[in-house]
Amino acid sequence: MPVLRLLSAMLGCAILLAPAAEAARPVPAAAPAQAQGQMQAPRLVVVMVVDGLPAEQLQRYRDQFGPGGLRRLLEQGASFTNAHQAHGITVTAIGHSAVLSGAYPYRHGIIGNNWLDHDGKQVYCTEDARYHYIGAETGAHDGTSPALLRVDTLGDQLRYASGNRSKVVTVSGKDRGAILLAGKTGTAYMFMDDSGDFASSTYYMQQHPAWVERFHAAKPQDRYYAKSWKPLLPDSAYADDAPDPAPSLKSPNRFPFTFYSESGAPSADYYARLKASPAVDELTLDFAEAAVDGERLGSNPSGATDLLGVSLSGHDYVNHAYGPESRMSHDHLQQLDRRIARFFDFLDRRVGMDKVLVVLTADHGFANTAEFSQARHIDARRIDAKALATRLDDALGQRFKVGKLVKNVYAPEVYLDYAAIERNRLGRAEVEDAAARILMAQPGIADVFTRTQLEQGLGGATRLRLLMQRAWNRDLSGDLLLVPAAYSSFGGGDSGATHGTPYNYDTNVPLLMMGGRWIRPGVVPQYTEVADIAPTLAQILRVRPPAAAEGRVLTEALR
C-alpha cells in the first residue's frame, strides 16, 4: 500500500502520540560484518509474550525482581526501551499476530479479538467450525485454527527451510495467544477453562501425544485448590500502589485470593478463578517445560532449530480486573518473574542457555482505570458504545431526513448501511463525513477516520494517522474508525481497566532479547517495533522473513 510508505516518510511533520518515536523507519539493514554463516544457529528459540504488560511496569518494578528472571533478561540481554506495538487498535489478537509475522492488520487480517462480518455476525479471530478441541467441548466461537490469519510467520519459514524438521510448539492461557504464535504449520495448545487442561485442536492432530496425556493425568491444575494467592513481598514494597478497593460481598478485590469452587471440589468455576492470578502462568510454563521434554525441543536429532512460543495470559486478566496501578498487578508481575527464573533454570538443564535465544515482549500495554485517572484530574471516561451509536443514528436521521443509516457498531468500528444510503440516494462520502462530525462532538472521542479517508490515504501525515491506517483492513474493517480520547475507553461499568488505543501507554511494550552468541547486551533507546522481531530472528536463523513482514533487522543488537 503506497500510502503507508508515504506516511512513514512524512511522520517528522507531526508526531502526536509518541514523541520519542522515530518519524521514518530506517531502511532494513544487512547482517553485521562478521558473517552470520560462521555463527552456529540457536538450537531453541523461545518467544515469550506477556499479555498486557506495559513497558513502564518492567522499569518501575525492576529493582524488586529476583536475579534469574526478568532481571536476567534486562542485564544479560538487549533491552529496547522504546519498543511499540505499532498499530492503532492494541488488543491481544492483533498484538500476537504481529510478533512472528512482522505484519500489521491491514495485511495479516486480524483486526481485533472479534469483529463483525458484512452480514453483521460476530467473528472470533481464531474460530473455525471445521475443527474442534481434542477431548474438550468446543463452543461456537472457540479458537481452533489460524485460518483467518492471512499471512505466514517466522515458524512457518523455519519449518520450510528445514524441510519440516524444525518443531514449532506454542502454549497459552488463551486460544488466540497460542494459535496466532503458531502460524500455519506450528502446533498450538491452549488452556481449557472448564477443566484446567491444555488441549490442542483437530486442525493440528487427531489425538494428543503421550506426553500431553501424562501431563493431564498428573492434574497439576488441582494443586491450588483451597490455597490462596498472597503478596510475595513485604507490605512496604507496595506502598506506591493504588489502595485496594473497599471490600464488598460481591467482589472483595483484595488479598488474599482463595481458589475454590462452589461445589467443594475442583470444577469449572475453580479453574476459571485460576486465570486472574499467577496460577495460569505457572501452569502454562509447566506445560511448556513438558513440551520441551516431550518433543525434545532444542535437542532436535536433525540439528534443526526448534521454536517454542509461550503466551502468558495472567497479567492481562489481572490488569483488566484491578488496573495496572494496583497492588495485585504489581505482585502478579513479581510472581511471574520468579516463575520465569525457574523456567530459565529448566532450559539451562535441558538444553543449555548458551544454545537458547530468548525474546520477551507483550501484545499491548494498559491504561489505568478511569477512576484512578479521574482522581488525578485527568478527563478519563468510560464510553458507552451502544448509547453512542443511538445518538449517531438519531443525528444522521435528522441531518438527512431519513431512517436508520447505522447498520452496526462494534467499537471502535462503525458500520454504515450502504443499502439505506443508496435507497435514499445519498452519497457514501457525504454520510461518512456527517457521521464523523457528529461523533467528534461526542464526549470522549478524539478523532474519527472514515473509509474514504483510509482508502485514499487522506487525513494528515501524523503518527495517529499511520497507526490507525495500519489497523484498518479494506475487506474486513468498518466504515468509521473511532479513536477515544487519551485515558478514555469503550465499555461500561465502574471498575477495571482496558487497552486498545494508539496512545503510548497501550503501544509501548517491553522488548528483550537474550542469547550471548547472537545478541549484544545493553540498553537500546532507539524507536523499535514488535514487527521488527520476525525479520531479526529470520536474519539470525538464516531463513526467509515472513512474506508480509515490514519490520527491520535490529542490527544494533546483533553480534
Positions marked catalytic = 92
Q: Determine the Cα angle at 141 with ends 138 and 144, to 5°.
A: 60
Of 153, 12, 6, 149, which Cα lies nearest the Cα of 462? 12
Under 8 Å between Cβ of 532 and 102: yes
Report the distance separating Cα 205 and Cα 156, nearest Å. 17
Task: Write out the DSSP string of 14-51.
Answer: B--S-TTS-SSPPPP----SS-GGGSPPPSEEEEEEET
3-state secondary structure of 344: helix
Residue 127 grid cell: 474460530
- C-alpha cell of 55? 513497558
- The stretches of 183-278 forming alpha helices (DSSP H) are 210-218, 268-273
Q: Which residue has the cell 510448539?
A: 169
C-alpha cell at 159: 519449518
Q: Name residue 228's beta-bridge partners.
A: 258
> HSE (CB half, 13 Å, CA atoms) of 217?
7
Q: Which residues contact 125 (CB under 8 A, 6 or more apart)?
A: 93, 110, 112, 113, 114, 115, 143, 148, 176, 180
* Distance of alpha carbon 351 from alpha carbon 139, whole angstroms: 38
All three cell numbers of 74, joined, read 534486562
**Encoded amino acid at 228, one letter:** S
Contact status, residue 22 vs residue 488, Cβ threshold 8 Å: no
Please report, for residues 358, 501, 513, the alpha-carbon distance to residue 90 in angstroms, rounded to integers and kept in the order given. Answer: 23, 6, 22
Would you say how long the chain is, in residues? 559
Q: Is the peptide bond before 412 cis (omega within 30 degrees of 0)?
A: yes
From the list 176, 184, 167, 152, the residue with the least C-alpha distance to 92 is 176
**Gap between the Cα atoms of 408 and 289, Å rounded:** 45
CB 221 within 8 A of CB 283: yes
DSSP state of 229: E
- Report the candidate in 556, 455, 534 with the shortest Cα–Cα distance to residue 81: 556
State yes or no: cis peptide before 546, omega within 30 of 0: no
Q: How big is the chain by its Cα radius of gyration, in Å?
A: 23
Of the candidates 501, 529, 457, 451, the residue with the CA atom closest to the CA atom of residue 7: 457
